[in-house]
Structure 1
Amino acid sequence: MKAAEIMTSPVFAIASDAKVAEAVRLMLQKHVSGLPVVDAAGKLVGMVTEGDFLRRSEIGTTKRRARWLELLLGPGAQAENYTHSHGRRVDEVMTREPVAIAEDTSTAEIVRLMEKHRVKRLPVVRDGKPVGIVSRANLLHLFAGALADVKPVAASDAAIREHIQAEMKKQSWAPTGSTSIIVRDGVVQLWGTIFDERERLALKVLAEGAPGAKGVEDHLIWLEPMSGLYLEPPKV
């Protein structure tokens, strides 16, 4: 899907020369956690979020660092922190040059950008002007819809087994050579040896996702590589 299909629109924006108090009131009134910041021409110039108001002098939460760290960071970083904690205008506390996306940006690219830049929302722009915003909540709604679309299906034991084996071959982590799959009446049995305990849960998740699977029984044994000890599967 594309950004235009999941974004929140119209978007509530704030002028760069507006007071911080105005931004706070707008976020509270519209129940949003972030606002695109625009210049006089309506072009995107920044983003202001709830995080920008966590360290504020008015509520006694300004950032305090050890003296040695202040010396290491230098006066520039200290000046920047002061601006953010005491600034009264939006352009004094906003994040400049925010990461923005186009309306045709794919959801895969949206997630990649969020993870890369460690942001919770991305403004959607057209000709430099914000027309929407995509947040983690929008992606969560998309995920919820995808889950609702999943319908139970009937499949033979052989078809379930073939699906699981095919999926395992696609995964570089899957221990295909040391495990075997048995399916009886729709219930998947996992047998064999794993060499990393994390593979156990991943295999169960993979098996549970097979169309027609009714349940999963774990009979895997973990061989600890360093000690050579065998650990029995957990009792459920």
Structure 2
Amino acid sequence: MKTKDVMTANVVTVSPDHSVRHAARIMLEHRISGLPVVDDGGHLVGIVSEGDFLRRSELGAEMSSPGEAHDYVRRHSWKVADLMTSDVVVADKETPIEQIAALMQEHGIKRIPILKGQRLVGVVSRADLLRAFLAAKFEDATAAGDDAIRRSILTRLREDAGVEADALTLTVTDGLVYLLGTVRSQSERDAVRVVAEGVRGVKGVFDQLHLAQA
């Protein structure tokens, strides 16, 4: 799935010449936590978010670098241009959504502006990705019969979850999966269970795995 499939196209924006109070009012009215900042030509020049307001003198925030002019300007200026973040992580409409999710995690951000050239054409937020998650079809493995279920689980453990099944005893009876043996960690134990539960035809999973002694 691409960014163009999930992005919000009708984006609420603010001008760099608007006041910071105007920006805060727009964010509250539209119940959003950040605003792209665009110039008169529709070009993205920055982004202003809730976090930027936490540094404001009106809230009694202390200067992170006392005596530095840049810090003083961000805390006291009335213009969005002085408060916004100019170095913005962006993407285009063809960017896969898994890359968008990775960028959000890497940079600790909640939204990514989508550009065509330098013009803003949309925004992808965490909420947009959440909606994409709910709309996605659940992809499970298909297996018919106990032997096929067992083979499917073992294959997915090795290829998808990276779990070696050498120390496992896995039996399937009438669609019921019994897990016995030893795993190296709780994460591996959880992975074995989740893989087994995700194979179509499985009616139940009985986890009797043990953690290896350190």
Partner of 2:5: 5
Report the aligned-residue RMSD: 2.3
Partner of 1:124: 114
Partner of 1:139: 129
Report how far residue 21 of structure 1 moved.
Answer: 1.0
DSSP 3-state at the match of 2:182: strand
- Say which of 170, 195, 199 aligns to 1:181: 170
Q: Which moved more, 1:172-181 or 1:210-219?
A: 172-181
**Cα contact 1:169–1:176 (8 A) shared by 2:** yes
Report how far residue 64 of structure 1 moved.
Answer: 6.0
Q: Which moved more, 1:172-181 or 1:85-94?
A: 172-181
Give the number of equivalent residue pairs. 214
Partner of 1:17: 17
Distance (whole Å) between structure 1 residues aligned to residue 10 and residue 95 of structure 2: 18
DSSP 3-state at the match of 1:160: helix
The amino acid of 1:25's aligned partner reads R
- Say which of 185, 192, 202 aligns to 1:203: 192
**Cα contact 2:141–2:198 (8 A) shared by 1:** no
Partner of 2:211: 222
Distance (whole Å) between structure 1 residues aligned to residue 213 and residue 71 of structure 2: 49
The amino acid of 2:91's aligned partner reads I
DSSP 3-state at the match of 1:95: coil
**Cα contact 1:196–1:224 (8 A) shared by 2:** no
TM-score (normalised: structure 1):
0.82
Q: 1:4 to 1:185 in 2, by over 3 A?
A: same
Report how far residue 75 of structure 1 moved.
Answer: 4.8
Partner of 1:87: 77
**Cα contact 1:152–1:212 (8 A) shared by 2:** no
1:27-66 to 2 correspondence within 5 Å? 27-60=27-60, 62-63=61-62
Distance (whole Å) between structure 1 residues aligned to residue 154 and residue 170 of structure 2: 8
Report how far residue 115 of structure 1 moved.
Answer: 1.8
Distance (whole Å) between structure 2 residues aligned to residue 44 and residue 58 of structure 1: 27
Distance (whole Å) between structure 2 residues aligned to residue 180 and residue 100 of structure 1: 48
Report how far residue 220 of structure 1 moved.
Answer: 0.9
1:71-86 to 2 correspondence within 5 Å? 75-76=67-68, 79-86=69-76
Report how far residue 150 of structure 1 moved.
Answer: 6.2
Provide, for residues 51-84 of structure 1, a one-character-per-residue CA deviation record: whole Å limited to 9, x for no partner. 1112322122x1466xxxx5xxx854xx444333
Report how far residue 114 of structure 1 moved.
Answer: 1.4
Provide, for residues 151-174 of structure 1, a one-character-per-residue CA deviation record: whole Å limited to 9, x for no partner. 997832222211111101214641
Report how far residue 175 of structure 1 moved.
Answer: 3.0
- Say which of 90, 106, 112 aligns to 1:100: 90
**Cα contact 2:140–2:198 (8 A) shared by 1:** no
**Cα contact 1:13–1:37 (8 A) shared by 2:** yes
Q: What is the identity percentage for the equivalent residue pairs of Structure 1 and Structure 2?
A: 40
TM-score (normalised: structure 2):
0.90
